Structure 1
Amino acid sequence: MKKEKSNLRIALVCNTAWAIYTYRRGVLRMLTAHGARVTIIAPRDRTFEPLTEMGCRCVELPVASKGTDPREDLKTLAALYREYQTTRPHIVFHYTIKANIYGSIAAMLARVPSIAVTTGLGYTFIQKSRAAQIVKRLYRFAFRFPREIWFLNQDDHVAFVHENLLAHPNRARGLHGEGVDLDEFAFTPLPARENFVFILIGRLLWDKGVAEYVEAARRLKARFPHARFQLLGPVGVDNPSAISRTDVAQWEADNIVEYLGEANDVRPMVAAADCVVLPSYREGVPRTLMEASAMGRPIVATDVPGCREVVEHGVNGLLCEVKSADSLTAALERIMTLSPETRAQMAQRGREKVAHEFDEKNVVERYKSTIHAILGISF
């Protein structure tokens, strides 16, 4: 049955409300501007308030990000099923592993159409643990049910096909990153100064390559006293790969890194840096790198799925080997010792690449077309 836009109910489900607020504001603006009633279902955090101010309804969701305790996961499944049964959303978008798995099952049970967005495969495809094998089996079952499954990069799609996790391969779709607002992340000229500032932005996880970054900083600071190495992002998060505040405090005491804490707006820190670094072990398509490149910052990242979608080696940044402090050290030294003119060219090419490939407007159009295809509503 065709729905009216003013009666349209759409839910977005994630393991953090922060991620929905940070990465999908353009989609939320489009939906609320057209009168849709948008519900955000996620664990409560500081972004519930700004999401509510945007016109969204926020519902607290119990999610245990660490481990695979079936009792905790059943609580997540039951909570989602009750919410879908009560509010009857016309379509639900699920993000991150547990929301994808248990949300897809709950939506099927409640007879609600759903879309699964794989925002990155995380520890499931990095580790060879028993828990990872369980998650793959759950994916194989749960991904029978979504109307579509979106992959942010081709490598993740290939991994799912290789592991035989897609019961309906024809439902897979590519979404080239989740986009950047090019007006919000405007091009900013590189600083002119003697110091050289590197910054790593994101949740502080071992899987993000923080250990390799700290080791590279330790080596380079001994030879380049003017180099500074910063960390920006939440510490001690609910994740199996989380880094403790104690670890960070020790690095600060050893004068290796500067910890900047957390920030709702990363733009001042990016503008103050010369290079943004992400030595991650695997990504979807990292927002940090897209935003940095949009603002005209050369980037250094590992040659892994997701990162190589954004970094074109030698064009807008450099790629290094994964889990290699040696390779990362060499890449950071190379960036630091390039001429200002060469770095400025990298900065400009980075902006052009993001504008061409990762404009948020294209992502918003994908949501519009998908809603139209499933519900018959045009925006």
Structure 2
Amino acid sequence: MGSADLQSKRVGIVVNSAWNIINFRKGIVLSLLDRGYKVFAFVPEDNYAEELRKLGMEVIITPLKGTGTNPFSDFRYLQVLYNKFRKVKPDILLQYTIKPNIYGAIAANRLKIPVINNVSGLGTMFLGKKIFSKLAFQLYKKAFKDVPMVFFQNESDRRFFLINKLTTKDRTIVIPGSGVDINHFKSQGNDRPAYRNVFLMIARLIIEKGVYEYAYAARRIQSEYDNVEFQLLGSFEESHPRAVKKEDLEYWINNGILNYIKPVSDVRPKIENSDVIVLPSYREGTSKTLLEGAAMAKPLIASDVPGCREVVKQDINGLLCKAGDSKNLYETIKSFLNKTEDEQKEMGKESRKLIEDFYSEEFVVKTYLSTIDRLLA
């Protein structure tokens, strides 16, 4: 493909927030821009939209109500995407998160625009009431039937789609999440005080991330061990239908159970100042939190579920616990605390090695670029 051809190619990235691109997709965006593509972001307006413009992207505002399954607002979103796609005329679309994957695919199919969908997890619709799971299934079936390529972040999710005939094996690839920039996320080698154990959970404050289990385990551990600290870093959106209760969060903070940290632009200092990364999530695509923590040579404690178990190797770079089981999480953390300092440090070294071998961002970007070349050939 010559340079003149590159200059004329238009790539659209469709996702539920500009924040998502800045935090998870920046590597692929910069690579596309370096190639000479014109890159469009189809996102709702938020505080990060201007950051996308600074990168060199053109931002196409597409209002989206991120949660819930209101058929009227979802239909409006579909119509907005269709109209925006028809006007911008992208040559290919890269889509992320549930609603862009579904409604973006339906709109793109009508306009004969090739799509790469990225399934970063099956979403809470599959964890909730059966009626919503059935609705989600039908929407996925309609949307994905003509999508030429689907990237999955773990084999369990791909297997679910294949078993249920939502796509075919030749149109799927498993990639290691969004990968990690191993040069950006690396430990500075600062020794942590042996007497202090800092556990850090980075996640949105919603039920499915295991926040309640984390708080329960923290309270029990603190009653038995001295010099332990449990930090919780993430966005709290009180209006979110599955958000933890505000009074519960205030109780944890006021009673010293959790040290709550609001979202920060750079999580590396927080990771560096911790000893263990914890994520008792009910399900993930591939957890970015775990990847970043592992890249900075931290031991990991996470649920034995898709999206977590791939990154946490039992008794090698961390420990696995049962999802939704507060007592088991407590016992798992206690098991880690009973390990020697050398054993804990060795887990951290193994975490870094795992990331270097299998989860570099460079691999993910190359996979995207080669797939785009093939679909545009």
TM-score bin (small chain): over 0.9
Q: Specify the alignment match of 2:64 in structure 1.
A: 63
Q: Specify the alignment match of 1:275 in structure 2.
A: 276
**3-state SS of 2:310 partner:** helix
Aligned counterparts, 1:359-370, within 5 A: 359-370=360-371
Q: Specify the alignment match of 1:219 in structure 2.
A: 220
Letter in 2 for 1:83: K
2:18–2:46: 8 Å Cα contact kept in structure 1? yes
Q: Which moved more, 1:146-155 or 1:40-49?
A: 40-49
Give the Cα–Cα distance (whole angstroms) in 1 for the partners of residues 110 and 239 of structure 2.
28
**3-state SS of 1:288 partner:** helix
Q: Does 1:75 align with 2:71?
A: no
Q: Specify the alignment match of 2:128 in structure 1.
A: 127
C-alpha deviation, 1:41, in angstroms: 1.3
Letter in 2 for 1:335: F
C-alpha deviation, 1:91, in angstroms: 0.3
**3-state SS of 1:283 partner:** coil
Q: RMSD of aligned C-alpha atoms?
A: 1.6
Q: Specify the alignment match of 1:103 in structure 2.
A: 104
1:236–1:245: 8 Å Cα contact kept in structure 2? no
Letter in 1 for 2:25: R
Q: Does 1:182 align with 2:186?
A: no
**3-state SS of 1:149 partner:** strand
Give the Cα–Cα distance (whole angstroms) in 2 for the partners of residues 370 and 63 of structure 1.
28
Give the Cα–Cα distance (whole angstroms) in 1 for the partners of residues 309 and 238 of structure 2.
26
C-alpha deviation, 1:187, in angstroms: 2.6
C-alpha deviation, 1:125, in angstroms: 2.5
2:126–2:136: 8 Å Cα contact kept in structure 1? no
Length, aligned pairs only: 375
**3-state SS of 1:369 partner:** helix
- The C-alpha deviation readout for 1:90-148, integer Å capped at 9, x for no partner, is 10011111111100001011221111110111213322431221011100111012111
Q: Specify the alignment match of 2:349 in structure 1.
A: 348
Give the Cα–Cα distance (whole angstroms) in 1 for the partners of residues 44 and 249 of structure 2.
25
Give the Cα–Cα distance (whole angstroms) in 2 for the partners of residues 91 and 245 of structure 1.
42
2:179–2:362: 8 Å Cα contact kept in structure 1? yes
Give the Cα–Cα distance (whole angstroms) in 2 for the partners of residues 66 and 22 of structure 1.
20
Letter in 2 for 1:186: K
C-alpha deviation, 1:223, in angstroms: 0.9
C-alpha deviation, 1:238, in angstroms: 6.4
1:278–1:300: 8 Å Cα contact kept in structure 2? yes
Q: Which moved more, 1:310-319 or 1:9-18?
A: 9-18
Letter in 2 for 1:198: F
Q: Specify the alignment match of 2:330 in structure 1.
A: 329
Q: Does 1:15 align with 2:16?
A: yes
Q: Does 1:316 align with 2:320?
A: no
C-alpha deviation, 1:73, in angstroms: 0.2
Q: Specify the alignment match of 2:200 in structure 1.
A: 199
Give the TM-score taking structure 2 as reference length: 0.96
C-alpha deviation, 1:358, in angstroms: 0.3
Q: Which moved more, 1:331-340 or 1:244-253?
A: 244-253
C-alpha deviation, 1:32, in angstroms: 1.1
- The C-alpha deviation readout for 1:24-69, integer Å capped at 9, x for no partner, is 1111111111221111112222221221111111222222222211
Letter in 2 for 1:367: Y
C-alpha deviation, 1:169, in angstroms: 4.2
**3-state SS of 2:13 partner:** strand
Letter in 2 for 1:82: N
Q: Specify the alignment match of 1:157 in structure 2.
A: 158
Letter in 2 for 1:203: R
Give the Cα–Cα distance (whole angstroms) in 2 for the partners of residues 188 and 359 of structure 1.
18
Letter in 2 for 1:364: V
Letter in 1 for 2:28: V
Give the Cα–Cα distance (whole angstroms) in 1 for the partners of residues 229 and 241 of structure 2.
29
Q: Which moved more, 1:286-295 or 1:62-71?
A: 62-71
Give the Cα–Cα distance (whole angstroms) in 1 for the partners of residues 146 and 84 of structure 2.
18
Letter in 2 for 1:57: E
Letter in 1 for 2:180: V
Give the Cα–Cα distance (whole angstroms) in 1 for the partners of residues 238 and 110 of structure 2.
31
Give the Cα–Cα distance (whole angstroms) in 2 for the partners of residues 344 and 287 of structure 1.
21
Question: Measured at CA, do residues 19 and 184 of structure 1 come closer, stay the same or move farther in structure 2, by a change above 3 Å?
Answer: same
1:67–1:131: 8 Å Cα contact kept in structure 2? no
**3-state SS of 1:309 partner:** coil
Q: Which moved more, 1:345-354 or 1:32-41?
A: 32-41
C-alpha deviation, 1:239, in angstroms: 4.5
Give the Cα–Cα distance (whole angstroms) in 2 for the partners of residues 245 and 268 of structure 1.
27
**3-state SS of 1:203 partner:** coil
Letter in 1 for 2:375: I
Q: Specify the alignment match of 1:172 in structure 2.
A: 172
**3-state SS of 2:29 partner:** helix
2:153–2:177: 8 Å Cα contact kept in structure 1? yes
2:154–2:307: 8 Å Cα contact kept in structure 1? yes
Letter in 2 for 1:100: N
C-alpha deviation, 1:173, in angstroms: 1.9
Letter in 2 for 1:23: F
Q: Which moved more, 1:296-305 or 1:367-376?
A: 367-376
User: Structure 1 vs Structure 2: percent identity of aligned residues?
Assistant: 35
Q: Which moved more, 1:2-11 or 1:355-364?
A: 2-11
1:286–1:306: 8 Å Cα contact kept in structure 2? yes
**3-state SS of 1:198 partner:** strand
Aligned counterparts, 1:206-285, within 5 A: 206-236=207-237, 239-285=240-286
Letter in 1 for 2:113: V
Letter in 1 for 2:98: I
2:126–2:132: 8 Å Cα contact kept in structure 1? no
- For structure 1, list consecutive stretches of 5 or more residues without a partner in the other structure: none
